[in-house]
Structure 1
Amino acid sequence: MSSLKIPAFDGHNDFLLRLMREPRRREEIWLTGEGAGHLDLPRMKAGGFAGGMFAIYVPSPRAGREERAVDRDMMGAQYDVPLPPALDLAEAQVWALGMAGHLLWMERSSGGAFRLCRTAGAIEAAMAEDVIAGVMHIEGAEAIDADLDMLHLFHGLGLRSLGPVWSRPTIFGHGVPFRFPSGPDIGPGLTDAGKRLVRECNALKIMIDLSHLNEAGFEDVAALSDAPLVATHSNAHAVTPSSRNLTDRQLHMIRERDGMVGINFATSFLREDGRRGAEIGWEPICRHLDHLIAELGENRVGLGSDFDGATVPEGIKDVAGLPALAAALRRHGYDDELLKKIFHRNWLAVLRRTWGE
């Protein structure tokens, strides 16, 4: 392949939260770009962004204050950031439905450049037509009720991937706090409602995202689910000992179930010192990818950028920097076949396995 702009399918982004926070500016943010954040339609095209999971994530009521505190705390040599409390169901549903509406609007407003996809076949067809493929994902199931009626509603809207928790607790389980250094063995596993959620997601062919789940919850999903084990945006704990990263034991369980991991560009989960600063070279990403490939195999690793939800390396900067990442990985020794697997083929394959296609 002569071009470094390899089509990329991304396991996770938080672009919908940007739109939800500034709905009156959504046309500028989405269609023309405003130079802020990591994603917009022009930069997606420039970077070869072929599709990805668009997360519905409900912020805490005092999110601005909490985010500033997290930014400050995660610059320290050690940290343990307190988690916000569980969210109110009705408030979470307002936010989540609003974000789902924004995703549907993105398709309608794009002039055919963006398409909401519900199958792997639809993603592949969109990519063949040079149309960006979006998949509806929920990060933290605060908007889902214990009876799971809202799960069926969101599935009807196009939901195909769901993480039972962000990091704060839900009625379904518990996440890991932002703690460094730390392992993920923090707190209890899935609740009875969480176990019902896993079974119903299996029945509906909704992918279950293990990123943010604590170790006990991870184990419960592995015991209950009949689908591949997938972490959409997580890294290797052996390289960066953050509570948010996956241990080798967890990676082996994912490998045994023919799942995959999307590497997270968040610098606090890439850097050996766990700090949030963007001033890093390509070596941390290469180290994590090398370790993930060694433990999972080259068919079970992809991208899970966390664009618009994290501080990313300065060499990437935003979605238009994906070709620079491809060039760095080529210099590191990855050939074009492996790059194509990491950038899109592995995601398409695991979605086919998970969605029963």
Structure 2
Amino acid sequence: MTGQTMPLVFDGHNDVLLKLYRAGGKAAAPTFLTGRDGAIDVLRARAGGFGGGFFAVYIPSSVDMDFKMQEMAKAKYDLPLPDPIDWEDALPVAMSQIAILFDLQDRGALTVCRTAAQIRKTLEAGHIAAILHIEGAEAIDAELNTLEVLYQAGLRSIGPVWSRSTIFGYGVPFRYPSTPDIGDGLTDHGLRLIRRCNELGIMIDLSHLNEAGFWDVARHSAKPLVATHSNAHAICPHSRNLTDKQLAAIRESDGMVGLNFAVAFLRDDGRMLPDVPLTQMLRHLDHLIEQLGEDRVGLGSDYDGAVVPQDITTCAGLPKLRQAMAQHGYGEALIAKLCHENWLRVLEITWGE
């Protein structure tokens, strides 16, 4: 597989907006075009065939990252979750990150897409296609007024929680070993959020929901079940990963899963250590394909938000992963599905195209 024939990667999750927000907000946006200290920018995207993906808006908590990394490098861990964040505190941060995304569009760095057809057109033109995604719905009020406004602004994907609880539901802590069956599911507000997102055509992301919340969405959503950046619990028994029973439900709904590059969710031992061979990623892909079928698996890197395998620390390294897929025996048609076609398929269904 040559660089010319490698299909573009449309990715299920990145946290570059958070990194730019922390680096100075819109003042840091030019570095996305000229080169930045991170995993994704225009230069690295061109080098690696990164076509775009879900650009997450995430409200950070005050967390001791050194402590978190030290704990997750151990054989067992159970990290306490941060306290919930009030809407009044979350909304300004979310607006700042969304403003960065549209500033990048104004600079010609990317295009914020609202339809799968627009994503296809943008990829074909050689530009970065971005979906406005919210990871953890702290910035959405109980009456869903903010949801309505953000939908008009381009919001097309949302995760009701990022692990810590919200008024909409409960997430999974970072715990290994553990099942995702931890705590309660969606609240009444959460059920209303799911219904309204279905009506608007906003995709629901299951990746940080606990198992009870997952089944609540499965019961109440009429759309395909999608986890943008999650892995196989059968290989890595981490609370953040999906069991085969959950994967069966995703298959039955005609949804999909994006493979998370975060090493703690890839390694059999659940440790946050970067010495993970690409063959371990292929093990997860094999299992996901076996459980979901070839049309329901993609990539969800978590670039700029996680420790990833040392061979693909930035999106410029993505050709190594595609080459590993080819050497593993994946044909060109399957690689194209994994890289972007499956995401476009499920988005067409979810967005009603």
Report the count of equivalent residues.
351
Paired position in structure 2 for 1:214: 210
Pairwise CA distance, 1:22: 1.3
In the superposition, the TM-score normalised over structure 1's length comes to: 0.97
> Could you list the per-position Cα deviations for residues 57-111 of structure 1 after superposition, in whole angstroms to 9, with x for gaps in the alignment?
0001x23x2x22211110000000100010021110010011110000010012x
| Structure-to-structure mapping, 1:192-203, within 5 angstroms | 192-203=188-199
In structure 2, C-alpha distance between the alignment counterparts of 1:2 and 1:280, rounded to whole Å: 24
SS in 2 for 1:349: helix
Give yes or no for the alignment of 1:11 onto 2:7: no
Equivalent in the alignment of 1:30? 32
- For residue 163 of structure 1, the aligned residue among 156, 159, 162 is 159
The 1-side partners of 2:57 and 2:66 are apart by 21
- 1:272-283, aligned counterparts within 5 Å? 272-283=268-279
Rounded Cα–Cα distance in structure 1 between residues aligned with 2:16 and 2:332: 29
Secondary structure, counterpart of 1:258 in structure 2: coil
SS in structure 2 at match of 1:287: helix
The residue identity in structure 2 corresponding to 1:174 is Y
Report the TM-score when normalising by structure 2: 0.98
1:24-74 Cα deviation digits (max 9, x unpaired): 65144311113x2211111111111112000000001x23x2x22211110
Other-structure match for 1:189 = 185
1:53 aligns with 2:54: yes
| SS in structure 2 at match of 1:250 | helix
Unaligned 5+ residue runs, structure 2? Answer: none
Instruction: Tell me how far apart the structure 1 counterparts of residues 125 and 29 of structure 2 sit (CA, whole Å).
Output: 23
State the one-letter code of the partner of 1:216. A
> How far apart, in 1, do the equivalents of 2:66 and 2:151 lie?
34
2:289 to 290, 293, 302: 293
2:200 equivalent to 1:204:
yes
The question of whether the paired residues in 1 share the 8 Å contact of 2:20 and 2:29 is answered with no
Distance, in Å, in 1 between the alignment partners of 2:82 and 2:186 is: 19
Instruction: Please list, as runs of the form range in 1=range in 2, the aligned pairs for 1:73-112 lying within 5 A after superposition.
Output: 73-110=71-108
Q: Deviations over 1:301-324 (max 9, x none)?
A: 000000000000011111001111
Give the CA RMSD over aligned residues.
1.0
- Give the SS at the match of 1:240: coil
Give the corresponding residue for 1:329: 325
Q: What per-residue deviation string (whole Å, max 9, x for no partner) do you get for residues 260-308 of structure 1?
A: 0000000000000101111121121011000000000010000000000
Aligned to 1:146: 142
**Structure 2: how far apart are the matches of 1:131 and 1:28?**
16
Instruction: Report what 2:344 is aligned to.
Output: 348
- Between the aligned partners of 1:270 and 1:2, the Cα distance in structure 2 is 27
Amino acid at match of 1:345: E
Q: Distance in 2 between matches of 1:99 and 1:266?
A: 22
User: What secondary structure does 1:91 align onto?
Assistant: helix
Counterpart secondary structure, 2:319: helix
Deviation string 1:195-254 (CA, Å, 9 cap, x unpaired) is: 000000001000000001000000000000000000000000000000000000000000
- Please list every run of at least 4 consecutive aligned residues from structure 1 whose deviation after the TM superposition is greater than 6 angstroms: none
Whether the 8 Å CA contact 2:29–2:100 is kept in 1: the answer is no
Determine the C-alpha separation between the residues in 2 that align with 1:196 and 1:344.
31
The CA deviation at 1:6 is 2.1
8 Å CA contact 1:163–1:210 kept in 2: the answer is yes
Q: Which residue, 273, 289, 307 being the options, matches 1:311? A: 307
Query: Secondary structure of the residue that 2:310 maps to in structure 1?
Result: coil
Tell me how far apart the structure 1 counterparts of residues 278 and 228 of structure 2 sit (CA, whole Å). Answer: 21
Percent identity between matched residues is 55
Structure 2 counterpart of 1:121, one-letter code: A
What is the rounded CA distance, in whole Å, between the counterparts of 2:323 and 2:279 in structure 1?
A: 13
Whether the 8 Å CA contact 1:212–1:244 is kept in 2: the answer is yes
Alpha-carbon distance in 1 for matches of 2:151, 2:24: 24
For 2:185 and 2:131, the matched residues in 1 are separated by: 27
> What's the secondary structure of 1:142's corresponding residue?
helix
Structure 1 segments unaligned to the other structure (5+ residues)? none
Tell whether the 8 Å contact from 1:168 to 1:175 is kept in structure 2 after alignment.
Answer: yes
Q: Distance in 2 between matches of 1:268 and 1:334?
A: 25
Match of 1:156, SS? helix
Conserved? CA contact 1:5–1:47, under 8 Å: no
Q: Structure 1 residue 150: deviation in Å?
A: 0.4
Partners of 2:238 and 2:265 within 8 A in 1: yes
